[in-house]
């Protein structure tokens, strides 16, 4: 199993922790932002809507940069949004911060999963994807309680600063542990039996029209043998 898979899981853990941190700190945040508890609850909705509506567009915008550079750009956007959340002076600013972090989180998930498929050997891809997605499970089970504990002891802003520190650690690990490029396209194509080798995944066949057309075209020899 490539070590980069565990690094990607750490990044997802940090972002999921940020997503659910609000759930355990609603009374404290309501008091600090001069808002009601239901309004603070809408911050979770804003994060989710930003993920579904803006995340795919962000992923499409960074996909040409290459997987590692795309991950670093998304870390930078996420950190900017998280710092804005930790220092938000008012409720509207916090809404903007949650939208920024939600968009970056969803795009990060997509790039991380695609890169995992590219890095892992064919027989280990299922296990590698399970490891990466465990970052989501662990973030829900452990990240939320830890953020709540920090927020109750040190204040809700400290919880967001802690998430920012965790994301910064994950970004440093990504910079050091994730290769700049996946396996060579030709090698990936030989393993998968298809000619497309984009960084979304070996032989995906979706981004390469030539791969789709070649996969559906039979050689003259095979056509002759079929007619005979």
Asked which of 100-104, 120-124, 176-180, 219-223 is least confident by mean pLDDT, the reply is 219-223
Choose the weakest-confidence range: 46-50, 108-112, 222-226. 222-226
Percentage of the chain lying above the pLDDT 70 cut: 79
Count other Cβ atoms within 10 Å, centred on residue 201.
21
Mean pLDDT of 102-112: 91
pLDDT at 84 over 90: yes
DSSP string, 174-197: HHHHS-SS-S-HHHHHHHHTSS--
Interatomic CA distance for residues 83 and 198, integer angstroms:
34
Q: What average pLDDT does the segment 214-227 reach?
A: 48
Give the CA distances from residue 223 to residues 193, 194, 217, 228, in Å, rounded to whole numbers and listed in that order.
19, 19, 10, 9
Q: Considering the chain, what is the average pLDDT of its residues?
A: 80
> For residue range 8-19, what is the model confidence (pLDDT) as tens digits?
999 999 989 988
- Averaged pLDDT, 98-105: 94
Look at residue 90 in the predicted model and tell me its pLDDT: 93
- Given a cut of 60, is residue 214 above it in pLDDT? no
Answer with the residue of higher pLDDT: 20 or 223. Answer: 20
pLDDT score, position 19: 85
Residue 62 pLDDT class (50, 70, 90 cuts): confident
Q: Taking residues 209-220, what's their average pLDDT?
A: 47
> What is the 8-class DSSP label of residue 218?
P
Is the Cβ–Cβ distance between 8 and 112 less than 8 Å? yes
Q: Does residue 218 register a pLDDT over 60?
A: no
Read off the pLDDT of residues 144-196 as tens digits, 9 standing for 90 and up: 889 999 998 999 999 999 999 999 999 999 888 888 665 544 344 444 444 44
Kindly write down the DSSP assignment for every residue of 95-160, as one continuous string: HHHHHHHHHHHHHHHHHHHHHHHHHS-GGGHHHHHHHHHHHHHHIIIIIHHHHHHHHHHH-HHHHH
pLDDT at 49: 92
Q: What is the pLDDT of residue 181?
A: 60
What sign results for the dihedral spanned by CA atoms 92, 96, 99, 101?
A: negative
CB 116 within 8 A of CB 11: no
Average pLDDT, stretch 65-79?
Answer: 90
């Amino acid at each position: 199993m490539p070590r980069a898979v565990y690094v990607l899981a750490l990044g997802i853990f940090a972002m999921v922790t940020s997503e659910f941190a609000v759930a355990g700190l609603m009374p404290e945040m309501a008091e600090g932002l001069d808002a009601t508890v239901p309004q603070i609850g809408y911050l979770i909705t804003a994060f989710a809507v930003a993920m579904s509506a803006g995340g795919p567009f962000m992923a499409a915008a960074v996909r040409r940069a290459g997987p590692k550079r795309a991950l670093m750009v998304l870390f930078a956007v996420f950190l900017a949004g998280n710092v804005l959340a930790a220092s938000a002076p008012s409720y509207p600013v916090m809404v903007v911060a949650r939208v920024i972090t939600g968009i970056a989180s969803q795009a990060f998930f997509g790039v991380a999963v695609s890169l995992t498929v590219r890095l892992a050997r064919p027989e280990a891809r299922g296990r590698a994807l399970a490891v990466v997605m465990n970052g989501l499970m662990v973030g829900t089970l452990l990240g939320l309680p830890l953020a709540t504990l920090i927020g109750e002891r040190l204040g809700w802003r400290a919880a967001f600063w802690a998430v920012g520190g965790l994301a910064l650690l994950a970004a440093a690990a990504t910079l050091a542990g994730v290769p700049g490029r996946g396996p060579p396209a030709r090698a990936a194509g030989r393993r998968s039996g298809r000619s497309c080798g984009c960084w979304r995944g070996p032989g995906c066949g979706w981004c390469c029209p030539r791969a789709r057309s070649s996969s559906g075209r039979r050689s003259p020899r095979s056509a002759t043998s079929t007619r005979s």
